[in-house]
DNA sequence: AATCGCATCAACCGCGCTGTC
DNA sequence: TGACAGCGCGGTTGATGCGAT
């Protein structure tokens, strides 16, 4: 039973996306919203597979993505969520609304794993023993339950000192989600590390392009698009054709990983506001809908409350988007 | 200045899940 | 109920940048 390729291999372009392609994709999604990826290549004329379009959108073009500069807090959260959930990056990413699963996965593989292996971590997060096949979810969840007390204890230890620096970001989350128009402002924007006022940068009502650009994060305005294309053309000329990754090529890949300088896609609202069009209304990330953002305090109570956490979070609705059903 | 090796990250691939007919 | 299509996820790869030699 060989599954046919998701798309016709012939004529399907691969490799790095060009700014032009990004532009086409963004424009299309702005108009139609994300989803129905199958139709995207056909309707946009992009010579890309639907999966590639979806990936490009969710991992790079989607508004509200913060890139680089993982804060210590995010780092610890990732470590402990990984200890709890294993390599279920999408689930982990749902607790870090500004981060993509791909980003978290990469960060884990390149930084955290090594850090922990070299003993640089707090030792609390052991490698998740196993990532059980999804076909046996019930089984692995039972195993997870077996480990959960250990992991919870470890997390408690790790989070305790964090209480002091507690989460401007996450605290804001707890309040910001109630604010109208916070819909796209997942996570409230900036991390403690990025001092720019990127908060709510992806909120349609609160992300004026000018403000956002002034603050640092890239906004997909006509001006920036033009700059982007110029930059791309320059690079193309310099490099002899390979366009590389827009934005990422210019800034994200500078090695500094400075999110505040990351160009489009970087930390930012991707809007077309300056073009006179409506700002994005679509946000595909809402794995955890804004109203269901889980503030750290909720995570803590979930993790720390031995008996009632599942009921608590479930009744609060905060874990609705979590991939587990918590049958126990 | 050139070369090599390593680190990083965007993108691809294959598989499983879910919804629809 | 089974087949099919579409989507999402996790693992892996390849291109690129950067530091060391």
The CA–C1' separation of A215 and C6, in angstroms, is: 39
**Cα–Cα distance between A46 and A232 in angstroms, integer?**
18
Nucleotides of chain C touched by protein CB (<7 A): 5-12, 15-19
Question: In the complex, which nucleotide's C1' lies nearest to the CA atom of residue A18?
Answer: B10
The CA–C1' separation of A1 and B14, in angstroms, is: 13
Helix (H, G, I), strand (E, B) or coil at A268: strand
Q: pLDDT digits over A268-320, tens only?
A: 333 333 333 344 444 434 334 433 444 445 555 554 443 333 343 333 333 33
The CA–C1' separation of A115 and C19, in angstroms, is: 20
Q: How confident is the prediction for chain A on average, in pLDDT?
A: 54
The CA–C1' separation of A1 and C4, in angstroms, is: 14
Torsion A64-A65-A71-A76 (CA) sign: positive
- Pick out residues whose CB falls under 7 Å from strand C: A 6, 15-16, 35-38, 50-51, 54-55, 87-91, 101-102, 105-106, 109, 131, 239, 242, 244, 249, 253-255, 284, 287
The CA–C1' separation of A107 and B5, in angstroms, is: 21
Q: Is this model's pTM higher than 0.95 or not?
A: no
Q: What are phi and psi of A260, to 5 degrees?
A: -70, -15
Check residues A181 and A160 and name the one with the higher pLDDT. Answer: A160
pLDDT at A18 exceeding the cut of 60 = yes
Q: What residues contact residue A169 under an 8 Å CB cut-off, 6+ apart?
A: A71, A73, A187, A188, A189, A190, A191, A192
The CA–C1' separation of A5 and B14, in angstroms, is: 10
**Cα–Cα distance between A52 and A59 in angstroms, integer?**
10
Residues of chain A above pLDDT 70, percent = 32
Q: pLDDT digits over A234-249, tens only?
A: 444 443 333 334 333 3
Angle, helices A296-304 vs A137-159, to 10°: value is 110
What is the per-residue pLDDT for A298? 53
Domains present along chain A, CATH in parentheses: 19-61 (1.10.10), 72-116 (1.10.10.60)
**Cα–Cα distance between A206 and A73 in angstroms, integer?**
26
Nucleotides of chain B touched by protein CB (<7 A): 7-17
Check residues A260 and A224 and name the one with the higher pLDDT. Answer: A224
pLDDT at A95 exceeding the cut of 60 = yes
- Pick out residues whose CB falls under 7 Å from strand B: A 3, 5-6, 13-17, 48-49, 51-52, 55-56, 59-60, 67-68, 102-103, 105-107, 109-111, 114, 133-135, 137, 245, 248, 252-253, 257
Place of tokens 């010579």: A47
Helix (H, G, I), strand (E, B) or coil at A65: strand
CB neighbours (10 Å) of residue A201? 32
Q: pLDDT digits over A128-158, tens only?
A: 333 333 333 333 444 444 444 444 554 555 5
Question: In the complex, which nucleotide's C1' lies nearest to the CA atom of residue A67?
Answer: B9
Check residues A73 and A118 and name the one with the higher pLDDT. Answer: A73
What is the per-residue pLDDT for A152? 54
Q: How far apart are the first and last CA of chain A?
A: 36
DSSP character at residue A111: I
């Amino acid at each position: 039973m060989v599954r046919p390729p998701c798309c016709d291999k012939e004529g399907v372009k691969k490799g790095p996306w060009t700014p032009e392609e990004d532009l086409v994709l963004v424009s299309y999604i702005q108009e139609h919203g994300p989803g129905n990826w199958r139709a995207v290549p056909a309707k946009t004329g992009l010579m890309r597979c639907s999966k590639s379009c979806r990936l490009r959108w969710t991992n790079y073009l989607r508004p509200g993505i913060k890139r680089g500069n993982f804060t210590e807090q995010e780092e610890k959260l990732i470590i402990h969520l990984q200890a709890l959930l294993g390599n279920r990056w999408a689930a982990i990413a749902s607790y870090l609304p500004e981060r993509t699963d791909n980003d978290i996965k990469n960060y884990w593989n390149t930084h955290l794993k090594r850090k922990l292996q070299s003993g640089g971590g707090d030792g609390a997060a052991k490698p998740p023993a196993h990532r059980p096949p999804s076909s046996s979810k019930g089984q692995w969840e039972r195993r997870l339950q077996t480990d959960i007390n250990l992991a919870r204890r470890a997390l408690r230890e790790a989070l305790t000192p964090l209480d002091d620096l507690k989460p401007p970001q996450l605290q804001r989350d707890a309040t910001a989600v109630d604010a109208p128009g916070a819909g796209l402002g997942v996570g409230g924007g900036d991390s403690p590390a990025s001092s720019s006022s990127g908060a709510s940068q992806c909120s349609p009502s609160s992300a004026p392009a000018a403000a956002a650009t002034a603050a640092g994060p890239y906004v997909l305005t006509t001006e920036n698009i033009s700059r982007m294309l110029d930059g791309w053309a320059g690079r193309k000329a310099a490099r002899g054709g390979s366009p590389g990754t827009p934005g990422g090529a210019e800034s994200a890949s500078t090695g500094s990983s400075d999110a505040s300088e990351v160009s489009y896609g970087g930390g930012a609202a991707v809007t077309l506001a300056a073009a006179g069009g409506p700002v994005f209304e679509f946000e595909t990330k809402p794995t955890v809908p804004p109203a269901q953002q889980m503030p750290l305090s909720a995570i803590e109570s979930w993790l720390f409350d031995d008996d009632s956490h599942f009921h608590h979070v479930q009744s609060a609705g905060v874990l609705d988007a979590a991939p587990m059903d918590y049958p126990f």
